[in-house]
């Protein structure tokens, strides 16, 4: 797991990971040939990681898509941490700001 994850860290699908949609979410094959079943919410978070995104951005998009009253930031951070632990997504630290 990445040692320093901040609110500006980005998540992106790991290279070489394959997935298939199934009736209740996604089946994801990691590089180690591990098979993972993701429910609709975890699957949606994983799909949003097709390009680098922050947990906050992913949580906002999912709140809108699932018509939630609150943004589920804590839950999405936990989900993304689990996906990273299982090597389905990679976490990148925030890019340093260029000097002005």
* Number of structural domains the chain divides into: 1
* Residue 28 forms part of a structural domain: yes
Query: Is 62 within 8 Å of 44 (Cβ atoms)?
Result: yes
* Residue 41 forms part of a structural domain: yes
> Residue 83 belongs to what domain range?
10-92
CA distance 57 to 34: 28
CATH, residue 48: 3.90.930.50
pLDDT band at 19 (very low <50, low <70, confident <90, very high): very high
Q: What is the pLDDT of residues 29-65, one digit of tens each?
A: 987 678 999 999 999 999 999 999 999 999 999 999 9
* Residue 26 forms part of a structural domain: yes
Q: Is a pLDDT exceeding 60 seen at residue 1?
A: no
Prediction pTM value: 0.86
* Residue 98 forms part of a structural domain: no
3-class DSSP state of 12: strand
């Amino acid at each position: 797991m990445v040692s320093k994850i901040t609110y500006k860290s980005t998540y992106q699908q790991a290279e070489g990971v394959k997935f298939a949609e199934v009736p209740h979410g996604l089946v994801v094959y990691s590089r180690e040939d591990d098979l993972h079943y993701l429910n609709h919410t975890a699957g949606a978070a994983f799909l949003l990681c097709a390009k680098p995104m922050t947990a906050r951005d992913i949580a906002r998009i999912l709140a809108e898509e699932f018509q939630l009253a609150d943004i589920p930031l804590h839950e999405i951070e936990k989900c993304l941490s689990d996906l990273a632990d299982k090597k389905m997504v990679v976490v990148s630290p925030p890019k340093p700001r260029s000097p002005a």
